[in-house]
Chain A
Amino acid sequence: DIQMTQSPSTLSASVGDRVIITCRASQGIRNDLGWFQQKPGKAPKRLIYAATSLQNGVPSRFSGSGSGTEFTLTISSLQPEDFATYYCLQHNSYPHTFGQGTKLEIK
């Protein structure tokens, strides 16, 4: 099975900051990776698909990069509504696997 190592597990930041979250795959997954945002009590929402493509309706301050084994989610200028938990998901092979999550907190 492919393991997804996501870091950091917790991130404290301020409105306006640029933040980067990283996911590392235990083997190459091409660009078969998505990023999701989840707020308390809500279903996750997909932000990025195919590692770099922005989901319709998602603000352009979110971007994804990487391929193979190293991936990043960047938020260029944090807004108050961005404080949430973020997950990566590899869908290159079964079983699909999520990263452990990154909780983005207000500093």
Chain B
Amino acid sequence: QVQLVESGGGVVQPGRSLRLSCAASGFTLSTYEIHWVRQAPGKGLEWVAVILHDGTNYYADSVKGRFSISRDNSKNTLYLQMNSLRVEDTAVYYCVVTGSWGQGTLVTVSS
């Protein structure tokens, strides 16, 4: 069955970078559109980015120009490169495909 396992979260200072990973199993990642969704502490869900099967990607305005979504087909793994991090990027980050969600990884941006 579909399984998604995120990793790479942690505590980082404002302005620094972090890369999240999402290891997929039970399906071929490159044949689906895969999303990142985040949730700030105590807040609602926010869609962040998507990569389509043809490699096209889209971003929320709040992260455009700072975040980059990519995948490694040989590793069946999705990435989210997060640059110029801000305090307001603090959240649990989930990868999502066809309604299946990973368990999330927490990113805390704090000085």
Contacts and interface: CB of A to CB of B under 8 A. Distances in A.
Q: Do A and B bind each other?
A: yes
B69 to A, nearest CB: 12
Contact of A55 (B46, B47, B99): B99
**Residue of B45, B100, B103 with highest tally of chain A CB at under 10 A:** B45
A44 interface: yes
B61 A44 contact: no
A97 B58 CA distance: 13
Interface string B51-82: 00000001111000000000000000000000
B44 A87 contact: yes
Contacts of B103: 43
B44 A95 contact: no
Interface residues of A, number: 20
Given A43-B101, A44-B101, A45-B101, A95 B45 contact: no
A62 interface: no
A94 B59 CA distance: 8
A22 to B, nearest CB: 16
Interface residues of B, number: 17
Contacts of A95: 47, 58-61
Interface in B82-96: 94
A45 B94 CA distance: 12
A105 to B, nearest CB: 16
Nearest to A47: B99
Given A1-B61, A43-B94, A98 B101 contact: no
Interface in B20-41: 35
A96 B104 contact: no
B44 A98 contact: yes
B14 interface: no
Contacts of A98: 44-47
The list of the 10 closest CB pairs from A to B, nearest first, reads A46-B99, A94-B58, A43-B101, A96-B47, A101-B44, A98-B45, A95-B60, A87-B45, A100-B44, A43-B104
